[in-house]
């Protein structure tokens, strides 16, 4: 164990704190920082590498920074054994080529269906680092990340043992090294219990995370890049409903992304949980953090490499570290609060809340209420692939004045440097909503809105921001959801594409789609509408005849539709004879399992 230094770094507004320990050391660092900052995640990583005397084991999702590359090569040249396991997507970039050219042995995960997402280094078996930090320029200087550095032989051995499994090629084995590993950091003034588990080793990672979160009695703070796990989302809503303090900062991609209906933003909005997105256009909110009860003896932080998603918990090569410590939890809580750019008043509602027909021009009204606190400017960001024709398709009313156009504009923006797909933003400058009375509300009317044909149905959030007298736009505490549905014809048309698609995700997409197919066709049957139902029966018959392996995903809808026809269709009514003929064909399909 190296000699402990007598000074500590102090955290203030997201700056790094190092806790100076006699037997173990623990450092927590937050980024991004400017190049050369002594508390920068890159600087701390280089310093850690430079302490190596015997060996460095590195499981690195991506290496894309010259200073760290140089440090690893310098360690190798002075006789330190350096080994690296990396993700195959980045295995042949210029930096990894430099590593191999220097003679450092490396291995790739060689798996196109999952990713080696770990970001940990172990030095001499006595000190290590992990967290959300990739060893790249963007994660150093642009993205919001955290880095945990620990000097402790027991914790280092846990990660060393995992590295040996990765090095041996057991990268995605579920039964190797799958325990929840435990250790104790003996600090100067206290002890910190540590838990570590690896994915997909630990086959109960989701439940392990849920168990830790479910111990909360007062608060849960969330900082998540990808947030798709429905069980976690439900738990947060339940805790918030139970009067606990729950708040979240989520990456912009969860609102401005193709898969918004699949993530948990809709659940946060429905549950009225205070949240905002990382609104820095130059950087991602890349954390993978949950903080539990930071002001109690039950305080803990869950961090590491794993996103709150099925891939993060069950598929990718990941790690989660749990630090049971109040001081550490308060540091992470303070970072979450610092990033939570949110007003304490104001709400937005939409009528109608549901839209049907992705290929159909849509219109709706957005009502903005100041909520008892004056609001100067308003911005309403539309989801990806939602397009208003022009500013002429917008109008506003306020103070009883109809068709207010002064200050109302439609802007197209790239929300982040990490995407090339623009979003549309409705800007209402000088809305000047009063705290109360007739001037406290404005209604923005949107007409002639179109959506890309590939737009996914589901819950969409209109991300709303408002400013006070200082002009700083921050998220409103209550934002609206729009429920988007395909028409039955659109559903069946998409089903046809997925039955024949060669995309590896098509089966999972079809599985989700069939719920909407069945629901929309049942509504058609009630109305006596047979056009989409005829297409469905034809496609189902063809898939069964062709022994299409995806027919097994379509077949469960056959019997419910048959029952619906038998219940709804009488001897008369619209298309009664056609419905009876379709019922006979569905009955034949119901008798075949398609095997």
271-296: pLDDT as tens digits: 999 999 998 999 999 999 999 999 99
User: Who has greater pLDDT, 57 or 405?
Assistant: 57
Angle, helices 488-500/531-545, rounded to nearest 10 degrees: 20
User: pLDDT tens digits, residue range 82-131?
Assistant: 999 999 999 999 999 999 999 999 999 999 889 999 999 999 999 999 99
Task: List phi, psi (to 5°) of 436.
Answer: -155, 175
Phi, psi of 41 (to 5 degrees): -65, -35
**Cα distances (angstroms) measured from residue 454 to each of 142, 356, 447, 482, 578:** 31, 14, 20, 17, 31
CATH topology agreement for domains 198-339 and 347-485: no
Contact predicate 359/399, CB 8 Å: no
Average pLDDT, the chain: 92
Question: Binning pLDDT at 50, 70 and 90, where does residue 13 land?
Answer: very low
Structure tokens at 427: 């800007």
| Tokens standing for residue 173 | 């084995």
Could you write out the DSSP letters of every residue in 527-562?
HT--HHHHHHHHHHHHHHHTT-TTHHHHGGGHHHHH
Distance spanning both ends of the chain, measured CA to CA: 64
To the nearest whole percent, how much of the chain has pLDDT over 70? 94
- Residue 493 pLDDT greater than 90, yes or no: yes
pLDDT score for 420: 84
CB atoms within 10 A of CB 426: 22
Contacts of 581 (CB under 8 A, 6+ apart): none
For residue 211, the tally of other CB atoms under 10 A from its CB is 11
Q: Is the pLDDT of residue 8 over 80?
A: no
In 185-282, where does DSSP find H-type helix? 205-214, 230-241, 265-270
Rounded distance between C-alpha atoms, residue 317 and residue 115, angstroms: 6
Burial class (CB in 10 A: 0-12, 13-18, 19+), 471: exposed
pLDDT at position 469 over 50? yes
- Of residues 25 and 401, more confidence is placed in 25
Query: Which class in CATH covers the domain with range 17-173?
Result: alpha beta
Return the pLDDT at 570: 61
* CATH class of the domain comprising 198-339: alpha beta
Pairing, β 362-369 against β 441-451: antiparallel
Statement: residue 315 has pLDDT above 50:
yes
Specify the 3-state DSSP secondary structure of 170. coil
pLDDT at 24 over 90: no
CA nearest to 409, candidates 375, 436, 379: 379
Please check whether residue 343 is in contact with residue 477, taking contact to mean a CB–CB distance below 8 angstroms.
Answer: yes
pLDDT digits (tens, 9 = 90+) for 540-557: 999 999 999 999 999 999
What digits encode the pLDDT tens for the residues 240-274?
Answer: 999 999 999 999 999 998 889 989 999 999 999 99
pLDDT bucket at 400, cuts 50 / 70 / 90: low
Does the pLDDT at position 203 exceed 90? Answer: no
- The CA distance from 140 to 43, in Å, is 9
Whether the CA torsion 175, 205, 285, 453 is positive or negative: it is positive
Taking only the tens place, the pLDDT of each residue in 407-466 is 899 999 998 888 888 999 999 999 999 999 989 999 999 999 999 887 888 999 999 999
Residue 414's CB is within 10 A of a number of other CB atoms, namely 13
Assign 345 to helix, strand or coil: coil
Using 50, 70 and 90 to split pLDDT, how confident is the model at 571?
A: low
CATH architecture of 347-485: Sandwich (2.60)
Q: Tokens in use for 284?
A: 């991602």
Specify the pTM. Answer: 0.88
For 515-549, give one letter per residue: b (16+ CB within 10 A) or e. ebbbebbbebbeeebbebbbbbbebbbebbeeebe
Q: State yes or no: pLDDT of 499 exceeds 50.
A: yes
| Domain locations along the chain | 17-173, 198-339, 347-485, 488-590
- Give one DSSP letter per residue of 414-444, joined into a string: ---TT----EEEEEETT--B-SSSGGGEEEE
Average pLDDT over residues 204-220: 97
Only one residue has tokens 């659940």, namely: 267
Helices (H), ranges, 144-293: 153-167, 205-214, 230-241, 265-270
In 328-479, beta strands by DSSP E: 347-351, 354-356, 362-369, 378-381, 386-388, 394-398, 401-404, 408-413, 423-428, 441-451, 458-461, 463-467, 473-475
Pair 216, 239: CB distance under 8 Å? yes
pLDDT > 60? residue 232: yes
What is the average per-residue pLDDT within 141-163? 98
- Give the mean model confidence (pLDDT) for residues 39-47: 98
Q: In the β-sheet with 81-86, what is the strand arrangement from edge to edge?
A: 17-19, 25-31, 145-151, 127-131, 119-123, 55-60, 81-86, 106-108
pLDDT tops 70 at residue 21: no
Token pair 């920068």 in the structure block, residue: 40
């Amino acid at each position: 164990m190296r000699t402990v230094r007598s000074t500590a770094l102090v955290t203030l507004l997201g700056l790094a704190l190092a806790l100076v320990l006699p037997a173990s050391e623990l450092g927590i660092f937050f980024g991004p920082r400017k190049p050369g900052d002594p508390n920068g995640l890159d600087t701390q990583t280089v310093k850690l590498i430079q302490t190596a005397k015997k060996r460095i084991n590195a499981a690195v999702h991506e290496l894309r920074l010259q200073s760290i590359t140089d440090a690893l090569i310098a360690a190798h040249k002075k006789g330190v054994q350096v080994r690296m396991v990396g993700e195959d997507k980045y295995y042949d970039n210029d930096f990894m080529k430099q590593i191999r050219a220097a003679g450092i042995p490396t291995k790739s995960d060689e798996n196109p269906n999952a990713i080696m997402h770990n970001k940990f280094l172990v030095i001499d078996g006595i000190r290590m680092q992990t967290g959300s930090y990739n060893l790249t320029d963007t994660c150093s200087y642009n993205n919001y990340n955290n880095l945990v550095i620990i000097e402790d032989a027991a914790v280092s051995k846990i990660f060393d043992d995992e590295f040996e499994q990765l090095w041996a090629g057991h990268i995605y084995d579920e039964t190797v090294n799958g325990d929840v590993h435990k250790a104790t950091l003996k600090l100067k003034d206290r002890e910190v219990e540590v838990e570590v588990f690896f994915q997909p080793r630990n086959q109960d990672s989701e439940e392990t995370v849920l168990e830790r979160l479910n111990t909360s009695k007062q608060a849960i703070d969330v900082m998540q890049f990808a947030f798709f796990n429905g069980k976690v989302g439900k738990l947060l809503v339940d805790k918030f409903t139970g009067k606990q303090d729950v708040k979240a900062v989520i990456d912009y991609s969860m609102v401005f992304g193709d898969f918004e209906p699949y993530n948990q933003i809709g659940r946060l909005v429905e549950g009225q949980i205070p949240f905002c997105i990382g609104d820095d256009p130059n950087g991602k909110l890349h954390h993978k953090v949950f903080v539990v009860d930071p002001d109690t003896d039950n305080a803990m932080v869950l961090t590491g490499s794993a996103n709150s998603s099925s891939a993060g918990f069950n598929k990718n090569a990941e790690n989660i570290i749990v630090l049971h410590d109040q001081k550490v939890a308060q540091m992470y809580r303070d970072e979450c609060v610092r990033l939570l750019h949110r007003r304490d008043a104001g709400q937005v509602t939409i009528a109608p809340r549901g839209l049907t027909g992705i290929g159909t021009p849509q219109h709706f009204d957005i009502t903005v209420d100041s909520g008892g606190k004056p609001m100067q400017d308003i911005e309403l960001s539309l989801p990806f692939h939602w397009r208003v024709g022009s500013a002429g398709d917008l109008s506003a009313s306020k103070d009883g004045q109809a068709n207010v156009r002064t200050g109302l504009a439609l802007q197209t923006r790239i929300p982040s440097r990490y995407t090339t797909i623009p979003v549309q933003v409705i800007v209402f400058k000088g809305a000047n909503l009063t705290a109360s009375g007739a001037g406290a509300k404005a209604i923005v009317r949107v007409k002639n809105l179109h959506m890309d044909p590939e737009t996914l149905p589901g819950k969409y959030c209109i991300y709303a921001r408002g400013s006070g007298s200082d002009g700083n736009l921050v998220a409103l505490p209550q934002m609206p959801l729009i429920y988007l549905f395909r028409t039955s014809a659109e559903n069946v048309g998409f089903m046809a594409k997925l039955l024949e698609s060669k995309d590896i995700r098509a089966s999972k997409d079809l599985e989700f789609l069939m719920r909407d197919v069945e629901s929309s066709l049942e509504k058609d049957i009630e109305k006596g509408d047979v056009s989409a139902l005829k297409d469905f029966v034809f496609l189902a018959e063809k898939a069964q005849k062709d022994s299409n392996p995806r027919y097994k995903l379509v077949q469960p809808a056959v019997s419910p539709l048959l029952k619906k026809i038998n219940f709804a269709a009488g001897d008369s009514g619209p298309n009664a004879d056609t419905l009876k003929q379709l019922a006979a064909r569905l009955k034949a399909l119901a008798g075949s399992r398609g095997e």
